[in-house]
Amino acid sequence: MDDAVIQSYEKQAEALEGSVAGMDDLRAKAIKDFAAQGFPHVKAEDWRYSDLKTLRTKAFSPANHAGETPDIPKAFTDCAARFVFVNGRFSESRSDMGDLWQAASVRPLANHFMANPDRAAELVRGRDGVGMLNTALAKDGMVIAVPAGVEIDDPVEIIHIMTGADDCAAHSRHIVELGEGASVHIIERFIGDDSSYWTNSMLQARVTESAKLYHTRLQEEGANAIHTSKAYVNVGAGGQYHACNLSLGAKVGRFEAYVRLLSDESNATIDGVALAGTGQSHDTLTHISHTMPHTTSDQIFRTVADSRGKTSFQGKVTVDKDAQKVEADQSFKALVFDRTAEANAKPELEIFADDVKCSHGATVGDLDAKAIFYLTSRGIDPVTARQMLVEAFAAAALERIEIEPLRDALMARVGDWMAERKAKPIPENKSRVE
Amino acid sequence: MLKIKDLHVNVAGKEILKGLDLEINAGETHAIMGLNGAGKSTLANTIAGRDDYEVTKGTIEFMGQDMMEMEPHERVAAGLFLGFQYPVEIPGVSNLNFLRTALNSVRKLNGEDDMSAAEFMKLVREKATHLNMDPDMLKRFVNVGFSGGEKKRNEMVQMAVLNPKLAVLDETDSGLDIDALKTVAEGINVQRREDTAVLLITHYQRLLSYVQPDKVHVMIDGKIVKSGGKELALELEEKGYADVA
């Protein structure tokens, strides 16, 4: 990797000294680790489907506050609070604090460790260059702690907006802590203009006994963006992490979820839809660790790739030796619209217990020609027929979102995406399976 | 209403229809009978405009229009309905959404406004009840988990909702028990009017006891070799195709 790139990031880390109480030591370690290994290469097994060439060859500067006020998108539904980050910086004036503060502790990352600097050591450091750089350069984010027994009914929205940020990056770190029996729904949205920016976001969460974290993500970055984000979640007894990700934007997009099921009856449900237009790459990596007996996980992923689009799914499930009676299901289905579209599936099961039920399935193909003819033979034009079939295909991975207006909004995105494809005739049936 | 002249059709490079002629007028019900492989389904699919059915010679005229110039969905808007031998399962698309999109697509192509949700629900419920279909099945995904009989009944509901001028029913009677057969026959008979026509494609005489055709055609090796009245169906059943033809 280019030394100048590493030096630039070292300088950026140095400049952040003292910006977040308690984080200096962590930052110093993280930037050292980053300098030693740089950004992951496509030759690294986990990164074979996402090429970070752009990041390796030029350093992205810290994004500054935008001069102009970008439009804040309308909420999908009533929210307990809406937190807006512009170019990686928390914008209090554009946020709506709602009444969340009455029920939960909410504060920016910068103040979080002030009282207990030692707790900064609990921050996830990241095991690759992208994660390490997030640890080294994050200075903003939301810390939301919901006390035991408190259920936040309306979702909390975190909106990341990037604007006028050519060659700039935003590294944000959000922390969610749920006390026993607490619950919250976090909606994360990522939007931006056409500048060539990099969003590098991380959310880490602790879901304790019987708590529930719902996490719905909508990635609609600008067309020239790079998007990398990671979720690290630990789930206690009877707790649940319920995530759904819809990836639409960015040139290169990647979402990773690392979930550790740490006690009896804990569950991870992770669904996702990725729609890749021409020249786009969407990569999803999940790793669910079943460390204890009677833990369950369920994943449904559906992706669609148009001409020269690429979608990838790497789903790893590990079951420890004593984690008996585990149930883990994983389903990945991809549509490719022609021979230049690409879909990659890499399910990985590492099972060391002997009494478990684990399943995975992966298919790649085009839309069913018989189904298209059936719809057209009832008077539906071929473009609408295709749209209906793609919506139905994606619905399987979106229907577990419990908030109806949110689910409908995401479904509508899928329909809109297909509608945009009308202009181009879709070449004949061809598919390829790796 | 439908005029087919010297129709030759290739499927996967092989000639299946080899010069077929057929004329159906408004108010008539015709039956085409023949053994497997005679080209009956090829005829149905060609009329509906399915890809992979290559017309190499001949003409199909429907309601005075050249059918070869029309896309499958445009043929439906002009008044054609194809009842499938094997109705397709479509997971994720509800029967109601399917029917409503279909009906409104046809109305749009004919320059009419969308039917209101209330009016549509009333229409569909009425048709489903008439065909002994459990209204709950309307909410389910199209044909998913339906029995053979339920799928065929669903075809009849679609036909009733779309109210075509010409219904081409491909082996609609296959795989039905006697109760389902009677219901389906009832659905077809309701569709027979002065201004409509029906083309039944079938293997057996069975359905024809309930839906009496005006004309019966015998199809062998891609051609119609004999035509007659409804008594021809009984003769076929008795003597077999070889002797009749």
DSSP, collapsed to helix, strand or coil, labels residue A357 as: strand
pLDDT in tens, A41-89: 999 999 999 999 999 999 999 987 666 678 899 999 999 999 999 999 9
Residue A429 has pLDDT above 50, yes or no: no
User: According to the model, what pLDDT value does residue A119 have?
Assistant: 85
Q: Quick check: B94 and B139 in contact, CB under 8 A?
A: yes
**SS3 sequence, B46-94?**
HHHCCCCEEEEEEEEEECCEEHHHCCHHHHHHCCEEEECCCCCCEEEEE
Name residue A15's beta-bridge partners.
none
| A371 to B90: CB separation less than 8 angstroms, yes or no | yes
Q: How far apart (Å, rounded) are the C-alpha atoms in residues A358 and B161? A: 45
Residues in chain B within 8 Å Cβ distance of A392: 90-93, 141
Per the structure, the count of domains in chain B is 1
User: According to the model, what pLDDT value does residue B239 have?
Assistant: 85
Name residue A315's beta-bridge partners.
A286, A347
- ipTM reported for the complex surpasses 0.85: yes
Sorted by sequence, the CB contacts under 8 Å of residue A120 that are 6+ apart come out as A20, A21, A22, A23, A25, A26, A113
Domain harbouring B156, CATH code:
3.40.50.300
Other Cβ atoms less than 10 A from the Cβ of A223: the count is 15
pLDDT in tens, A219-258: 999 999 999 999 999 999 999 999 999 999 999 999 999 9
Preferred mutation among A333, A370, A378, A407 to probe B, highest tally of B CBs within 10 A: A378
Least confident of A10-19, A110-119, A344-353, A402-411: A110-119
- The residue ranking higher by pLDDT, A403 or A113, is A403
Helix axes A382-398, A404-420, angle to 10 degrees: 140
Is B90's Cβ below 8 Å from some Cβ in A? yes
pLDDT band per the 50, 70, 90 thresholds, residue A2: confident
User: According to the model, what pLDDT value does residue B204 have?
Assistant: 81
Name residue B17's beta-bridge partners.
B9
Residues in chain B within 8 Å Cβ distance of A396: 91-92
Other Cβ atoms less than 10 A from the Cβ of A86: the count is 24
The pLDDT of B13-37, averaged and rounded, is 95
pLDDT in tens, A252-306: 999 999 999 999 999 999 999 999 999 999 999 999 999 999 999 999 999 999 9
Minimal CA separation from B42 to chain A, in Å: 14
Q: Quick check: A158 and A189 in contact, CB under 8 A?
A: yes
User: According to the model, what pLDDT value does residue A1 have?
Assistant: 75
DSSP H or E segment with residue A146: strand A142-146
Domain that holds residue B228: 2-244
Preferred mutation among A377, A391, A408 to probe B, highest tally of B CBs within 10 A: A377
User: According to the model, what pLDDT value does residue A67 have?
Assistant: 62
Minimal CA separation from A262 to chain B, in Å: 35
Question: To the nearest whole number, what is the mean pLDDT of chain A?
Answer: 93
